[in-house]
Amino acid sequence: MGATWGALLSNLFWIVLVLWTVLPLLRQRRVTDRRLQVIRQLERERGSRVITLIHRQESLSFLGIPLTRYITVDDSEQVLRAIRYTPPNMPIDLIVHTPGGLVLAAEQIAEAIRRHRGRVTVMVPHYAMSGGTLIALAADEIWMDENAVVGPVDPQLGGYPAASILAAIRQKGPEKVDDRTLVLGDVAQKAIAQVRQTVYRLLQDRLPEEDARRIAEALTEGRWTHDFPIGCDELRALGLEVRCELPDLVYRLMELYPQPDGRRPSVQFVPVPYAERHTR
């Protein structure tokens, strides 16, 4: 009798273990399928390719250690792949929700957007900071929730703003800082110039040269802290055209990204090439 109960408990243990492992996977698959359904519905309504670049991280942690998600080279590879699957003249809607990330990856995405012949709209439901802002600046149109924000794109070096490093050197005087700080200042100056030129290049086709250079300087010079929220009104005051409303389907899609579990992809799109659409 004891052996029978032992076998029963052992089987029950393995059943519970399997269910504990399989059920989250099934639930995640169901959420993924629902996301793709909303993406396809938005594509039909907009006549576009929809790509998402979404990093949810507000409460993600592992063993009490906070984890973060940000724009990576893997993200840029996936977004570029999605753009390659898109006919040159087809519009693209890129939904962006991110704290930023690698400058290299963000610039690759921004340049791919700029080169795409079809109209590109970046939609920001909540925030697109730093590298996310750089991507938004490359688009033909920026659509935002009325409470959504973007941020400055001033470079950060070793955890410090490049502009602040230069300001500290100016305040103390070059003769009163060590060689390492001087080298860091040189790199900071180059980083600011490089990012400023990138922003100007992204804007020059859509704005007068003077306006493009003024906006590029404002966003890269360290006028604000790196996490300063720039909303619709501030963007318009800078001289950028922004539409402060989003399709309802964008909000429905965001509801399917409640919080990450480390297995959710940051970039999603329907992974098949689309046929060219001919208009009369």
How far is the C-alpha of 153 from the C-alpha of 133, rounded, in Å?
7
Per-residue pLDDT 10s for the chain (280 aa) are 555 766 666 666 566 655 556 555 556 678 788 999 999 999 999 999 999 999 975 444 443 444 457 899 999 999 999 999 999 999 999 999 999 999 999 999 999 999 999 999 999 999 999 999 999 999 999 999 999 999 999 999 988 999 999 999 999 999 999 999 999 999 999 999 999 999 999 999 899 999 999 999 999 999 999 999 999 999 999 999 999 999 999 999 998 887 655 555 677 788 778 877 765 5
Predicted confidence at residue 59, as pLDDT, reads: 44
Predicted confidence at residue 229, as pLDDT, reads: 96
Predicted confidence at residue 67, as pLDDT, reads: 45
CB of 253 closer than 8 Å to CB of 145: no
Cβ-proximal residues to 46 (8 Å cutoff; 6+ apart), any chain = 91, 93, 247
How far is the C-alpha of 59 from the C-alpha of 61, rounded, in Å?
6
12: number of Cβ within 10 Å: 10
Residue 137's closest CA among 162, 102, 109? 109
Cβ-proximal residues to 192 (8 Å cutoff; 6+ apart), any chain = 154, 155, 162, 163, 166, 220, 221, 222
Look up residue 280 and give its two tokens: 């009369």
Residue 200's closest CA among 209, 191, 192, 190? 209
How far is the C-alpha of 196 from the C-alpha of 202, rounded, in Å?
10
Predicted confidence at residue 267, as pLDDT, reads: 77
The count of C-alpha atoms lying within 13 angstroms of the C-alpha of 135, restricted to the half-sphere facing its C-beta, is 37
Predicted confidence at residue 71, as pLDDT, reads: 93
- Residue 214 CA to its chain's centroid (Å): 24
Which helix (H) or strand (E) segment is 210 a member of? helix 209-220
How far is the C-alpha of 164 from the C-alpha of 123, rounded, in Å?
31
Burial class of residue 100 (count of CB atoms within 10 Å of its CB; 0-12, 13-18, 19+)? buried
CB of 82 closer than 8 Å to CB of 39: no
How far is the C-alpha of 225 from the C-alpha of 211, rounded, in Å?
22
Predicted confidence at residue 159, as pLDDT, reads: 85
197: number of Cβ within 10 Å: 13
Predicted confidence at residue 3, as pLDDT, reads: 59
Tell me the pairing of strands 127-128 and 141-144: unpaired
93: three-class secondary structure by DSSP? strand
* pTM for this model (two decimals): 0.82
